[in-house]
Each structure stands twice: as structure tokens, then as C-alpha cells.
Copies of this chain bind each other. A is one copy, B any other.
Amino acid sequence: MSAAIHWRRDIHRHPEVGFAEFRTASRIAGRFADLGWRVRTGTDAMSAADRLGVPDAESLDAAYERAAADGADERFLPRMRGGLTAVVATVDSGQPGPAIGLRADIDALPIVESVDSGHLPARDGFRSSYDGVMHACGHDGHIGMAVELAERLAERPLTAGSLTIFFQPAEEGGRGARAMVPVGLADRIDLFLAMHVGLGLPTGRYLSSVDGLLANSKLKAVFHGVAAHASIAPHEGRNALLGAATAMLGIHALPRIPGHETRAGVGRISGGTSSNIVPDRAEMLLETRGDLGVVNEHLESRARDVLTGAAAMHGLTVDIETIGGTTTATADPEAVSAIETAAVSAGLQVADGLPVGLASDDATTFMRHVQENGGKATYVGLGATLAGPHHTPAFDFDEAALPLGVDLLESLVRLGQTFA
């Protein structure tokens, strides 16, 4: 079993949600340190204040303790306390050459993984051991490829330029990149790429530039009402859940915009305690997306109107908090060209047509930052046949794609010499 697959499976079995990737991040940091890379963690790798949607202290502590008990690397774990789970690892040839940057995201999702016998992780014993959390988007594979790449570079070092890998927490929700950019480690990157497995592309194929990443806004709305006994005095209550239910229907009813990709939806509601108490609190997670920033802004603005109007309808107040968001970005031809050259070496074929890649990814925040500082960037799709769709309990990808991805990355960094 290759290092990529070995690591992928270990990480898959121990999935951690955004900013709680204590085991994941500390083990990455340890491995890269052992391989001789310069490793930055904690506030050297990210700005605590620029994070969005950080879990509450209790959840973070519980995740921290679990990680400590479950194989975290104690050399790095303490610096990550409180959700500082970014890791930046750099290897430098000491010779002139391009500074290449690679984003690898490391967080999992709050999904209960399938126990179906047809689901490979279940059958082969690497299904999530953490209830209700799952690597259902392939980030475990991104980590695996990064580790195998490092091992290859340990055997046969770079001869020109440098490579920096940005292990980013909290990609889901678009919450982590914005906290890593401010510390400045991406300021001098010449060539930046994010690479994502799956996306509907079959194993053996790739895309040098995934267009259509959507701008998005993630909001948390908390409706506050008045509790009351639901039978003795329902009229003295103000039912926070009624506000949430009404708002949900209004948000889903936001209009489509011809010629554009739009999304608007609620992914979570939680409110009330028992049937005989008028709920005084309801919490909602929602998001809007658009293929242009202005499209997303239009939808977000209208979603906010829906939230405040629904609160007013039912005598409630509502607090709205931005807990995540991404921008759009455009690939540079120079970066695309570099990827294409590397792909030829790696024996990958260009995919037919575009993926349905209309998701979002805050790798765009890195991309825009690199571009604003004069570097070039792209977002690469690495084919990996899927057993189930992204973000679903049956998600799984063809692990045969991982060595191919490492080949592509290796080719790129070795070709890097010729890039600048």
C-alpha cells in the first residue's frame, strides 16, 4: 500500500471537522518535520481572529482531548489548542527557482458514514470511527498525496526553487483560507495550485482549470423569542421556531437569476426542547451562492431581508452572523500551461468537458492573494471515479487516483525549474 493510500485511510478513520483537526494536523506536522521540512503551526500558520465559524470552546476541548487520546502528535498538538489547526510546511532547494504553493485542505464533514457492505471504507475497516463525522469530500486523499509527495522528495530532493504546502483547516464553509492568508506565507508564491479529487472526473483524467467555483456566503441566524407553557399560556410565548420555519421557506423561494448559477438554502435548523414549551430559540445555518460575486451578494441581501422579516412576523428578534464565505477566482494561463506540461509527464489525459464543478472552495482566497502579489494560480481537478456523490454517506473515491495525483504534483515541482 502506497503512503498516500495508507495515510488516506488512517485520516479517513479519524475525521475531524473544521478547526477541530487536532489529530489530523498534528500528525501532518510531525510527519513533515520528520522528513526535514520547515513546519509552521499555531499562530505562525494562521490568524486566530480571522477565522469564521469557529466551534464553541467545549466542542473544541472535547475534540482536543479525543485527539490526545487517539494518536495526535504531542510535539505539535499543544500549539493547536483552541482551533489553530493550520499547518504550513516548506521545503527549499536552496537554489534559484520558483516558489510553488499547494493548498491541501484537511477537514471532514458532519455526516454519518454509510455502514453498507458495498461501501469500501466499511468493508475494509477504515470507516469513520468518530460518530457523525466523515471525510465525504476527499480531503483525506489530499493529505495522503501530500505525504507521499514529501516522501518522494525526501528520496530525491528538489534541485530548484521551493515547495510550500498549505494544510488548510475548515475548507468546508469557506472559513479557513481567510485565516491563513494574513500571516503572509503565501505572499511570495510564484505558482499556486489547489487540487481536488473527484468532481465527477474519472480516474486517469484531469482538468488544468476548474472553472465555475461559486462565490458563497454562509450565515448563521439565531431567532430569539419568548418561552411559555405551550398549553397554559401559548399566547405569552413568541415561537422562535415559527420564525425559522417561515424564513426557511422564504429563503428557498428566492428567485433564480437567468443565465447565472444561483443557490439559496437552509442546511440546518435546531430549536426548542420539548413539545410543551414554546421554543424561545432557534438556530439556522444557511447559505447563498452565485457564479459572480454580485449574484451572491444579491441573494445574501435578500436572504437577510427574509430573516428579519420572518422574525418581525412572529414577534422575534434575529441575530445574523457570517460564518463563512468564498469568492470567485480565475485561473492564469501560465499556471494552466504548467499543469498541462506536468500532466503529460504524469500520463494523465484531459477530461472531456467540464465537471459539474459548481461548488465553492476558499482556495480562491489563496488564488486571489497570490495573483494580487504577482504570482500565478489555478485550481486543478484530479479524476477519481466516485462510488457516491460528494457530501453524502456513500461517498468514496477510487484510490488508484492517488498515485496519479502524486505523479502530477511531482512532475510539476520538478518541472518548476523551467516555469519561472
Question: Which residue of B244, B278, B393 contacts A245 across the interface (Cβ within 8 Å)?
Answer: B244
Closest chain B residue, CB of each to CB of A357: B232
B259 contacts A267, C-beta separation under 8 Å: no
CA of A279 to CA of B310 in the docked complex: distance in angstroms?
21
Further contacts, 5 of them, CB under 8 A, given A229-B392, A249-B253: A111-B227, A230-B287, A232-B356, A275-B285, A309-B309
Residues of B within 8 A of A30 (CB): none
Residues of B within 8 A of A359 (CB): 229, 231-232, 276
Q: Say if the beta carbon of A172 comes within 8 Å of chain B.
A: yes
Among the 9-residue stretches A2-10, A34-42, A234-242, the one with 4 or more Cβ atoms under 8 Å from chain B is A234-242
Tell me the smallest distance from the CB of A322 to a CB of chain B, in Å: 12
Among the 9-residue stretches A298-306, A338-346, A370-378, the one with 4 or more Cβ atoms under 8 Å from chain B is A298-306
CA of A245 to CA of B265 in the docked complex: distance in angstroms?
13
Given contacts A252-B253, A285-B275, contact A228 B392 (CB under 8 A): yes
Residues of B within 8 A of A356 (CB): 232-233, 258-259
A109 contacts B309, C-beta separation under 8 Å: no
A391 contacts B263, C-beta separation under 8 Å: no
Among the 9-residue stretches A86-94, A121-129, A311-319, the one with 4 or more Cβ atoms under 8 Å from chain B is A311-319
| Residues 339 to 396 of chain A near chain B (Cβ within 8 Å) | 356-360, 389-393
Given contacts A246-B250, A356-B258, contact A233 B263 (CB under 8 A): no
B263 contacts A358, C-beta separation under 8 Å: no
Question: Which residue of B248, B257, B269, B312 contacts A308 across the interface (Cβ within 8 Å)?
Answer: B312
B253 contacts A278, C-beta separation under 8 Å: no
Tell me the smallest distance from the CB of A323 to a CB of chain B, in Å: 8
Residues of B within 8 A of A268 (CB): 241, 271-275, 279
Which of A109, A261, A268, A274 gathers the greatest number of chain B CB atoms within 10 Å?
A274
Closest chain B residue, CB of each to CB of A199: B232
Given contacts A229-B359, A359-B229, contact A266 B241 (CB under 8 A): yes
| Residues 197 to 235 of chain A near chain B (Cβ within 8 Å) | 214, 216, 218-219, 227-235
CA of A239 to CA of B250 in the docked complex: distance in angstroms?
11
CA of A309 to CA of B132 in the docked complex: distance in angstroms?
29
Residues of B within 8 A of A232 (CB): 258, 356-359, 389-391
Tell me the smallest distance from the CB of A155 to a CB of chain B, in Å: 37
- What are 27 inter-chain pairs, A to B, with CB distance below 8 A? A109-B273, A172-B276, A173-B276, A228-B391, A230-B265, A231-B258, A231-B358, A234-B256, A235-B258, A241-B248, A241-B266, A242-B253, A244-B269, A245-B245, A246-B246, A246-B250, A250-B313, A252-B253, A253-B253, A255-B265, A259-B358, A269-B282, A275-B286, A275-B287, A276-B287, A308-B312, A308-B313
Residues of B within 8 A of A168 (CB): none
CA of A287 to CA of B272 in the docked complex: distance in angstroms?
13
CA of A210 to CA of B168 in the docked complex: distance in angstroms?
45
Which of A232, A273, A315, A324 gathers the greatest number of chain B CB atoms within 10 Å?
A232
CA of A203 to CA of B272 in the docked complex: distance in angstroms?
31
A234 contacts B263, C-beta separation under 8 Å: yes
